[in-house]
Every structure is written in structure tokens, then in C-alpha cells.
Structure 1
Amino acid sequence: MKNQRILFALFLIYFVFAILLNSVGTVILQVIGNYGVSKSGASVLEGFKDLPIAIVSFLVASFLPRLGYKKSMLIGLAIVSLACTAMPLLPSFLTTKLLFLCVGVAFALVKVSVYSTLGLVAADRKQHASLMNLLEGFFMVGVLSAYWVFGYFIDSSDPKSSSWLQVYWVLALLCALTFALLLSTPFNEDRATLPPARGIAGDFAAMLQLFFKPLVCVFVITAFLYVLIEQSVGTWLPTFNNEILKLPAAMSVQVTSIFAACLAIGRLSAGVLMRRLNWYPVMNACVVGMAAMVLLALPLTHDVVADPHISWSTAPLATFLFPLIGLFMAPIYPAINSVMLSSLPKHQHSAMTGLLVIFSALGGTTGSLITGYVFGNFSGHFAFYLTLVPISIVLIMLYFFKNAVNHSEGEFDGSAIISSQH
């Protein structure tokens, strides 16, 4: 019962941050209309979110076990509660930047703590893999909810309406309730205790040393590229739907929920599939499937004619076909995370997650900035065709990741790695 309450708290925290983190695409669409910001100018919001995640993770992840995972999560929730409250009270593009900066700082504290706590709760490596898929799947349920929650408050008839800002009162309340639940939930973090004689400088050095292990190095590069692709699509899909497929603003956001739903379904079902199949061929099939969806769907998005009476039943086929790329993306992130984390001792999970968060954040920012620049200066079609480049590189990196896993059996527990592969 105690572990179930802890897991519920972790899942709820991830749900809250899923909504906040993945509202960037929706908010970009709104600030372009509300505040007259250019596409390339609006794309910096991804940086305001992701760069603080990377910086804070780099600085604090190695010694978070000394602060305490529960305290870190409470601090993160308090920060975003205040930031959400500021959005409707002080509406401006500057406030929006500060919101995502706060979300980035808070998520750095939260993700490292949640992943590390998951390692403490899991009884064995198989359960760790299962919980990782459920956690990431629940995260995507939050992303899916975000499109509908924000879509409900958007006024499609008036691009300059500030009604969408009222959604932040709902989010502030949700953060406060999650804070109260976490505060009242007992945690036992004894197994994550770091050696007292090592000190903070020693913790930091140990995290940096991890990066130079071949398996870890290949892993973080693969994670970087994966997040680059996911954020390129997820962040700019609402704008793509609005400008290329000619959908109304609210519908553009709501239709993007198909992408999130595909990610959620894929991740929630991945644990079942990968208990029966080897992870490497499944990952290869997923990457090839992603490329196929790009090549099948994007040609259908050319020469779309605007229809003032468009509805879900009359929307172009590409509206529903392209988001299916999420089904193929879904299993990759939890699978490589599970292989990596479950091969390490509990007290190293925080440092390893810190490296993961840093490179994931950098990947998200890079993807959004590149896609925003190409979208604004060339075309939305070319911007999404460009994802074929990192998709191809991920296919290559997975081969090196598999080899690094095989060659690391002497350094890490090889049987543990194999057993963690669902």
C-alpha cells in the first residue's frame, strides 16, 4: 500500500509536468497571435524550457540524494504553482518565457527525483522496466490531456483573445493538490544514500566519469537524437495543422492529441510486447516505421485548400495519418532508459538520470529551434521532411548502443542488462 501511494504520487507529478512541458507548441501558436511574435522568436520558448532543465540537471543531479528526492519534488511543484498563477495575472511574452524557465528548473529537480525513486520502489529489474513504461505512458496521457484542456480555453474566432490564459488557474490548482499529496506521503530513501566522505565535489566528478563509459556515451547521444525528433514534431505540429492543413486554431491543437495518444498507447503497450521480443529488432522496426510515416503522410499535405466549414469528418487524410508516427516513436525512449538505468547501482541512478535529462533537454531545444527556423524561412513541409536525417542517424546509433551493451558485460552486470530488456 505504501509503495502504491508513492507510485500514485510519482505518476501524478509526471502527469502535471507532461501538461506544462508539452504545452509549448500550443503556447507558440497562441503567442504568435496574441503578442505578434514571429515564428523564430516564438521558438525560443523551447529553449527557455529545455536549457534550464539541462543546466540545473548538470549542477544538482549528482548530489540530489543528499538533498532528498521528496524535498526536490516539493520544491519543483512549488515553483510551477507560482509560475502558473503569474500567467493570467501578468499576461505578456516575457511572463510566458519566465513560465517555461520555471517549468524547466522544476522539471530538472522532478525528473531526476522521480526516476531515482522509481529505482527504489521497484523490487527487481523486470518490475523496473514495467514501471518505466507505465510512467512514460502516463506522461503521454498528460500530454494528450494538455491538447484538450488548452483547446477548451482557446477562442478560435479571435486570435488575440486572452481566454486561453485561464487554463493556468486549473494547472495551478492541480500543482497545489499534487504538492499536498506528496507532502503527506512517507518516503524511505536510505538505499540512495551517497558515501558521506565523498562530498558534493566527489558526487559531481562521479557523474562526469559516468559519461566517459562507452555504453553511457552512446546512450545519451541516442536519447538526444530521439528527443530532437519527438520535440520537432510535437512542438510544431499545431502550427503545421493550422498553416499547412488550414485547420482552425483550436482544432489544430486538438488534432495534435492524436500524436500524443499514439505515444501513450505505444508506451503503455510496449512492456507487453517487449517481454516477448528482443529489444534491438523492435527498435529498428520502430525507426523504419517512423521514416515510412513521414514519406507516406507528407506528400498528402501539399495544395490543401482552406475550408471555412472544415470539421473532423472533412479534414485532410494527412491530419490523421501523420500523427501515427507516435506509435513507432513510443517504445524507443523507455526501452533504452530501462536498459541503461537498471544496469547501474541505485545510488548512481540520480547521476545517470541527470545526464539523460541534460541531453534530452538539449535535444528538445535543438529540434525545436531548427524546425522553427526552417518552418519560418522555407516551408512546413521541408521542416518535417528534415526529420528523416536524425531518424536515419538514430538507426545507426542503435546499432552502436547494442554493441556497447554487449561489450559492457564485464563492467556492468551483463545478465542484469539482458534481463532488463523487457
Structure 2
Amino acid sequence: MSPQDIQKQRNLQLIRWLTYLMFMMFAMTSDSVGEIIKEVKREFDVNNTQASLMHSLFMVGIAFSGLFLGFLADKFGRKKTIMLGLALFALSCYLFLVGTSFTFILGLITLSGLAVGIFKTAALALIGDISTSTKEHTGTMNGAEAFFGVGAIIGPLIVAWLIREGVHWTWLYVIAGVLCTLLILMAWKADYPDHSKGQKADEPIDVRRSLKLLGNPYAMGFSIAAFLYVAAESAIYVWMPSYLMCDATTLEATFSCYSEGPEQMLAMYAVSAFFSLRAIGRFVGIWMMQHFNWALVMLMFSFAIMVCFIGGLWGGREVALYMFPLSGIFMSVIYPTINSKGISCFPKHEHGTVAGVILFFTAAGAAAGPLVMGIVSDAFGGDAMYGFIVATGFATFLFIGFLYNFLRNPTETRLAEIEKTEYQN
């Protein structure tokens, strides 16, 4: 192997690790929100709907930048866009050191969402640049989401540890800011592959390209699937802690209705258990998507998710204590495969834009789902059970969508064409 080939392999390895670590880093903050909401409600004396803004505004920021700034990765390149997004995210994290009011914190949450939308669309586009086939693209996407799952485990554990040690939960964001600064240095050192092959010189690369994709059946089909999935998934990590609570008046009474020992421990760390199972499932998913029909896997897993939600509602919190975290195993491969197959339906030079559109619907689902659940719960006296009835509806429609996808296979021809034109060599 020539020195140039060795350097190229090292560079691709650096880029792959940079992508994985970016996903892990922002998952530490985004998927800790369920644990943080419990502290915010006590600290600022806000209701469920107000507290859910901690999650919803973050997702609104991601949605806005995904739809209206997703083209930046195609126009200015992956490297510049990633560094811009990471810099904004680090800034928002460090500003948590001076935030004391609920309104100011919501502003930082929104800014961090905008930043994530910028660097995540570029990172998703970058996965296409370093993949040699649509199948490898799906495997790499599952790898990135596996590291996201690792971050989702670490984040809630850090929050729980900080609270137990008497340290304010905002220090989680400071830790994320330090990691983000290191990632900026990694991005600066990396040499990114060319993404502009096949792009017409006179083709406008701006927000109009994103809006045009809203009329594309492939982009919209996978975007709607992303909306439904994330609305159901975020129900678990945002509202499961509230659903499992026995008494919200004191910290000691929070899980007092469960028997001493394993059940009480599981109730306390249910979110971490969910994310642990999801992370394990995503590593398994990398292998599954290489060996099985992706449409069949998605159909089976979406059905299992629906069963977990129905079982958790039917059996009450005692059954939900097991069924809701268990859904993480089946959620493991859903989102990365939606993302991968949706992006893979388009040429590589459009990957940033289409990733932004799917990300818009992803964030919209993550923002709207928990918010609607909070509103419905408040309307029925604050009981989170009523919100989970809504979430079960999201899971049911997701299953129906994948049933259609399995029976009709609408993307088979399109993916075969892209395989020949974009990944053949």
C-alpha cells in the first residue's frame, strides 16, 4: 500500500470517529432531558407543558436549521459546516455557567438545537461521502446511532451522579462543551473527501432546494416515518420518568410504590436501561442490516414497539417498568435505517439537503410529540398515562407505514439506480 493510500485510510478513520463522537456528544445532553425536566420542575416551579419546552425548543432549533440551513453542507462543504455547528454548540454549553433564569436557559436550549441541526446535517451527508455502497451506508449510519446510544446512556447517568453529589445539573452542558471543543480540533485536522461529483455548476444550492424536496415522495415518505418514530421514542425518555413516579412531592417518595430492591432500582434508572438496550440493539443492527431484508426487520421491530406501548398502558406502571425500557431493543435500528435509506435515495451531492429535510421532520416529531403529550396529560389532571395514549397512536401509525413499505417496496428501483450511479466504483 502506497503512503498516499495509508494516509487516505487514516484520514477516513479519523472522519469516521469524528462522526461517531459527534453523535455521542450531543446525545449526552439531548437524551438526558427526561432526568433534567424533573429537576427543572422543582427548581423553577413549572408545570408539565412549561417543562416540556426544555425538549421542544431544542427540537424546534434542530428543525429550523435542518430545513433552512441543511443546504450549507452541500454549498460550503462538510468541514466548514461541521466546525460552524460545533462552535455554536460549544458556545451555548459554556453559557449555561451564567444562566440563572428559566427563560435564559430556554434560549440556550434553542441555540444548541440550531447548532446541532447545522453539524448533524453535515455529518449525515459525510457518511455518504465515505460509504462505498447503500448497504455500507446503512451499516455506518447504525454505527453512528450506536454511539448516539452510548451518549444517551452516559448523559442521564452523569445527571443522576451530579444531583446525588449536590452539583447543579447544568454542569452536564459544560462537560459537553469541553468534548465539543476537542471535536472542533479533530474536524480542523481532518481532510474531507470531495462531495461535489455530479453537481451542476449553475445549480442553485440554497433553501429552495430543501423546500423543493418537500414535494418528493421518497424524501417525504421517510420524513413522515422519522416524525412518527421519534415522536414515539421521545415519549419514553421525556415522559417515562414522570409516568413511573409514585409521588412527586419529595425525592424519597418518587419511587416508593415499588418493592425494595431490583424494581425500585429499575424505576430509578429506567431511562438508562432503555438507552442501554437501544445501544446494544444498534450494534446488533449493524450486523442485521448486512444480512437481512431491511423492510422485514423494520416491520417486525415496529410491531414489537407497538406491543410494548400497548402493554405498558394496559398493565399500568408495574408492567410499563419493564415494557417501556424493553422497547429500546426494537427501536435500535429504526431511525438510522430510515435516515440511511431516505438519504440513499438521492445523489451524494444532495445528501446535505435531504438530510436536513429528514432532520426537520425528526426534530418536529421530537418537539411536537412530547409537547402534545404534556398538554394532554395536563388536561387530564397531570397524569402522564394519558400522554402515553397519544404516543401509542404514533407507534401504531409507524407500524402501519412499515407494513405498507414491506408489502409494496416502493424504493427498490430507486435504491438500485443510486447504487449503480453513485457507489458502483
- TM-score with structure 1 setting the length: 0.86
398-407 vs 97-106, which moves further: 398-407
State the alpha-carbon separation in 2 of the partners of residues 408 and 300 from structure 1. Answer: 40
Measured at CA, do residues 207 and 81 of structure 1 come closer, stay the same or move farther in structure 2, by a change above 3 Å? closer
Measured at CA, do residues 358 and 15 of structure 1 come closer, stay the same or move farther in structure 2, by a change above 3 Å? same
| Aligned residue in 1 for 2:24 | 15
Measured at CA, do residues 319 and 246 of structure 1 come closer, stay the same or move farther in structure 2, by a change above 3 Å? farther
State the alpha-carbon separation in 2 of the partners of residues 90 and 341 from structure 1. Answer: 38
State the alpha-carbon separation in 2 of the partners of residues 404 and 348 from structure 1. Answer: 26
Verify: 1:341 aligned to 2:343, yes or no.
Answer: yes
Match 2:284 to one of 266, 269, 275: 269
130-139 vs 333-342, which moves further: 333-342
Measured at CA, do residues 175 and 27 of structure 1 come closer, stay the same or move farther in structure 2, by a change above 3 Å? same
State the alpha-carbon separation in 2 of the partners of residues 121 and 344 from structure 1. Answer: 15
SS at match of 1:406: coil
| Aligned residue in 1 for 2:243 | 240
| Aligned residue in 1 for 2:215 | 212
Instruction: Tell me the matched-pair count.
Output: 399
| Aligned residue in 1 for 2:50 | 41
Q: How does 1:111-260 map to 2 (within 5 A)?
A: 111-155=120-164, 163-191=168-196, 194-200=199-205, 203-243=206-246, 246-247=254-255, 254-260=269-275
| Structure 1 vs Structure 2 CA RMSD | 2.7
Q: Deviations over 1:42-71 (max 9, x none)?
A: 112222111121112221212432222111
Stretches of structure 2 that go unaligned for 5 or more consecutive residues are: 1-9, 248-252, 257-263
Residue 65 of structure 1 contacts residue 194 of structure 1 at CA under 8 Å; is this kept in 2?
Answer: no
State the alpha-carbon separation in 2 of the partners of residues 404 and 72 from structure 1. Answer: 37
| Aligned residue in 2 for 1:313 | none
Measured at CA, do residues 166 and 354 of structure 1 come closer, stay the same or move farther in structure 2, by a change above 3 Å? closer
Residue 74 of structure 2 contacts residue 351 of structure 2 at CA under 8 Å; is this kept in 1?
Answer: no
Q: Deviations over 1:58-97 (max 9, x none)?
A: 2121243222211111112211222222213222212321
| Aligned residue in 1 for 2:4 | none
| Aligned residue in 1 for 2:309 | 294
Residue 279 of structure 2 contacts residue 332 of structure 2 at CA under 8 Å; is this kept in 1?
Answer: yes
Residue 34 of structure 1 contacts residue 162 of structure 1 at CA under 8 Å; is this kept in 2?
Answer: no
| Aligned residue in 2 for 1:358 | 360
Residue 220 of structure 1 contacts residue 356 of structure 1 at CA under 8 Å; is this kept in 2?
Answer: yes
Report how far residue 351 of structure 1 moved: 1.4
SS at match of 1:163: coil
SS at match of 2:169: helix
SS at match of 2:269: helix
217-226 vs 249-258, which moves further: 249-258
Q: Deviations over 1:287-322 (max 9, x none)?
A: 2211222233344445xxxxxxxxxxxxx6643442
Verify: 1:372 aligned to 2:374, yes or no.
Answer: yes
State the alpha-carbon separation in 1 of the partners of residues 193 and 301 from structure 2. Answer: 38
The residue identity in structure 2 corresponding to 1:104 is: G
State the alpha-carbon separation in 2 of the partners of residues 364 and 280 from structure 1. Answer: 23
Q: Deviations over 1:365-414 (max 9, x none)?
A: 111101112233322222223322111211222234446743662x5635
Stretches of structure 1 that go unaligned for 5 or more consecutive residues are: 303-315
Q: How does 1:86-101 map to 2 (within 5 A)?
A: 86-101=95-110
The residue identity in structure 2 corresponding to 1:10 is: T
| Aligned residue in 1 for 2:61 | 52
Residue 65 of structure 1 contacts residue 192 of structure 1 at CA under 8 Å; is this kept in 2?
Answer: no
Report how far residue 144 of structure 1 moved: 0.8
| Aligned residue in 2 for 1:308 | none
131-140 vs 167-176, which moves further: 167-176
Residue 29 of structure 2 contacts residue 172 of structure 2 at CA under 8 Å; is this kept in 1?
Answer: no
State the alpha-carbon separation in 2 of the partners of residues 230 and 91 from structure 1. Answer: 30
State the alpha-carbon separation in 1 of the partners of residues 134 and 14 from structure 2. Answer: 20
The residue identity in structure 2 corresponding to 1:386 is: V
Q: Deviations over 1:82-117 (max 9, x none)?
A: 222221322221232122112211111111100111
Residue 290 of structure 1 contacts residue 328 of structure 1 at CA under 8 Å; is this kept in 2?
Answer: yes
127-136 vs 392-401, which moves further: 392-401
| Aligned residue in 1 for 2:403 | 399
Residue 11 of structure 1 contacts residue 135 of structure 1 at CA under 8 Å; is this kept in 2?
Answer: yes
Measured at CA, do residues 192 and 41 of structure 1 come closer, stay the same or move farther in structure 2, by a change above 3 Å? farther
State the alpha-carbon separation in 2 of the partners of residues 215 and 235 from structure 1. Answer: 30
State the alpha-carbon separation in 2 of the partners of residues 390 and 86 from structure 1. Answer: 35
Verify: 1:66 aligned to 2:82, yes or no.
Answer: no
Residue 65 of structure 1 contacts residue 193 of structure 1 at CA under 8 Å; is this kept in 2?
Answer: no
Residue 73 of structure 2 contacts residue 125 of structure 2 at CA under 8 Å; is this kept in 1?
Answer: no
Residue 224 of structure 1 contacts residue 362 of structure 1 at CA under 8 Å; is this kept in 2?
Answer: yes
Residue 255 of structure 2 contacts residue 268 of structure 2 at CA under 8 Å; is this kept in 1?
Answer: no
Measured at CA, do residues 372 and 280 of structure 1 come closer, stay the same or move farther in structure 2, by a change above 3 Å? same
State the alpha-carbon separation in 1 of the partners of residues 180 and 266 from structure 2. Answer: 27
Measured at CA, do residues 326 and 375 of structure 1 come closer, stay the same or move farther in structure 2, by a change above 3 Å? same
The residue identity in structure 1 corresponding to 2:270 is: V
State the alpha-carbon separation in 2 of the partners of residues 407 and 257 from structure 1. Answer: 35
270-279 vs 1-10, which moves further: 270-279
The residue identity in structure 2 corresponding to 1:349 is: H
Measured at CA, do residues 206 and 166 of structure 1 come closer, stay the same or move farther in structure 2, by a change above 3 Å? closer
Measured at CA, do residues 169 and 274 of structure 1 come closer, stay the same or move farther in structure 2, by a change above 3 Å? closer
